[in-house]
Amino acid sequence: MAAASAAAAPAVSHRSLVPQLGKSSETPGLPRETLVGIAGAVVGIVLFVIAVLNFTGTVDWEIRPGEGSGANPGLDFFVLGLLALLGPYGTVASAKLRRIQKIEERLPDFLRDVAEAGRFGMTLPDAIIVASRGRYGLLTEEIKKMASQLEWGVPVATALELFQQRVPTPLVGRVVSIITRANEAGGNVADVLTMVAHDTREVQLAFSARQISMLTYVTVIYIAFFVFLVTIYIMAAVFLPQMILAGKGISTSNLGSSGAVSLQFTFVPILFLAFMVAVIVHAVGDGIMAGVLFNGRLADGFQHASIMLVTGWAIMRFVVPPLST
């Protein structure tokens, strides 16, 4: 009786471990990029409020000393708010997407190794465990997690599902779905794995070809944006100051006093503010377009927009000479 109880104890313990191994190792709660996006949105809203208060003259917080409250400090804090809103989320989300992309790059190699092991008569769980001894870059860690779960008795469908949860992309989801259905249907799973590996590689090659073709358009977007900044610099450093001098000269001459000729040079600073707004709009719009064209992902667009926005703002505020009448 005692021996039977002792023999049953390990079995109960093993069964109790299976549900725990069936859970994902990911920390429960919101993803990191979502938390960063929420924090960035809160900071951005605070900066937007400060921008409005500066613009209305309620507060006098300056990025560039000596300007006083008004449109320029208001635009400065508005740009900082946009950077807080777009930059952190775009950086974290893009880093996660790049990591997943590197994991996906080695997925066809792993599938081919599992298929080769299956041709020697191994079951799918045993083939995955044997293939997990190989090196697949960033995919190796995920494969070892799946192999450990299978060694502890987790069903192969559950282990594959957990792998899909850790790498939540359409490509991995399609691969896991096909492998799970083929394993449930029985038959020669190795042939299915070989075809899936070939199809996955073809999808990746098509995506890489698309990125190469779109890189030209992304380069054109960056060049056009910086040409726009150079044009504004030339106008602010050469053309607009001469326009102000000409307007002042006409206003003090006999032609200006008689009203025969007039030049409204007092609107030049307002025109400069319009340039600043145009730079902000172009940076955000062009950056998002560049990211979507290159990777088809909005997060990459936020990262490009942040780069263009901080570059354009810094040039407009600290490189382009200020104008005053």
Round the average pLDDT of the chain to a whole number and report it.
80
Predicted confidence band of residue 304 (pLDDT cuts 50, 70, 90) = very high
Tens digits of per-residue pLDDT, 98-148? Answer: 888 888 888 898 888 888 888 887 888 888 888 888 888 888 888 899 889
Mean pLDDT of 204-231: 91
Enter the pTM of the model. 0.75
Tokens of 99: 């990591």
188: left (phi over 0), alpha (psi -120 to 50) or beta: beta
Provide, rounded to the nearest whole percent, the portion of the chain with pLDDT above 70.
Answer: 79
CA distance linking residue 93 with residue 305, whole number of Å:
14
